[in-house]
Amino acid sequence: MPRFISRLTAQIIFFFCFISSAPTAFADLSDADKSEIKSIIKEFIKENPIIIRDVLTQLATTEQAQRKLAALALVKNDDGDPEIGPSDAAITIYEFSDYNCGYCKRIFNDLQAVLAEQPDVRLVVKEFPILAETSVLAAKAAIAAHRQGKFRQFHISMMTWRGKIDGDAIDAAVQKAGLDKNRLLKDMEDELTAAILSKTRAAAAALEVRGTPALIIGETIIPGAISKNEILDLINQTRAAKN
């Protein structure tokens, strides 16, 4: 009986999908045929409320899964995003981050340790400045530093800065990373940098990410800071899922 119900549920889903995707075909039916189909559906719903509930649940689950996949695709469209690690890494960690975020600084050392221990893992930082105006400046500078190939040292300097991020913190990070400041200032305000930040905001909205840090490893979304061991566990799970 359960297998029959499962088959029937699938058929009902198919029927509703067919009707919704091919409205013209339904419109071409005669009035008598339309009336008969509507009567059959009403009678079935009346006699099988549990099956209908299951159908609606499955449809909702499918739609939710599709929305999640679409949102993850936005995140993984990482052209121009600052990164640390090999571009052909087997595993990528995506981090929504703000340089004024204390929890981002707390997880920083664990992420760096993971990268040191796992040479085939890379970190893509999705610059998500939400805490202060200086966060926006820092995010733009980070993206511009990446374009000069010197993001890692800039990122380390910013994450190890004591206190709130300000102009002095950014200037110190620029100097330590050996960045061309004139080029940096120009790149910070160009359309590409604005587009990268806009893309990250869209991805955060799609995933309902409202704070930092937020990590994505494989298809797992983790709001908030987690431990090094938890990060490694998720990496191992992602490896296993690929094999």
Rounded to an integer, the average pLDDT of 199-206 is: 93
Write the pLDDT tens digit of every residue in 129-148: 999 999 999 999 999 999 99
Q: How far apart are CA 204 and CA 185, in angstroms?
A: 26
Structure token pair of residue 212: 């930092």
Please say if the pLDDT value at position 1 is more than 70.
no
Residue 8's domain comprises 2-68
Last residue of a domain, one of 41, 68, 95: 68
Region 36-54: what's the mean pLDDT?
Answer: 72
Q: Total domain count for the chain?
A: 2
Query: Does residue 219 share a domain with residue 117?
Result: yes
158 versus 46: the higher-pLDDT residue is: 158
Please give the pLDDT value at position 19: 53
Rg, Å, the chain Cα set: 25
User: Which band of pLDDT confidence, cut at 50, 70 and 90, is reported for residue 78?
Assistant: confident
In terms of domains, do 100 and 201 share one?
yes
Say if CB 97 and CB 104 are below 8 A apart: yes
Same domain for 149 and 36? no
Same domain, 165 and 141: yes
Residue 154 lies in a domain: yes
The sheet carrying 214-217 orders its strands as 83-84, 121-127, 91-97, 214-217, 220-223
Confidence of residue 30 (pLDDT cuts 50, 70, 90): confident
> pLDDT band for position 120 (50/70/90)?
very high
pTM of the predicted model as reported, rounded to 2 decimal places: 0.74
| Whether the Cβ atoms of residue 156 and residue 99 lie closer than 8 Å to each other | no
Number of H helices, E strands in the chain: 11, 5
CA–CA separation, 129 vs 97, rounded Å?
Answer: 7
Q: What is the CATH number of the domain that holds 156?
A: 3.40.30.10
Candidate from 19-23, 26-30, 180-184, 205-209 with smallest mean pLDDT: 19-23
Supply the DSSP string of 68-113, one letter for each residue. HHHHHHHHH--TT--EES-TT-SEEEEEEE-TT-HHHHHHHHHHHH
Query: 232 in helix, strand or coil?
Result: helix
Average pLDDT of the chain?
Answer: 86
Residue 151 lies in a domain: yes
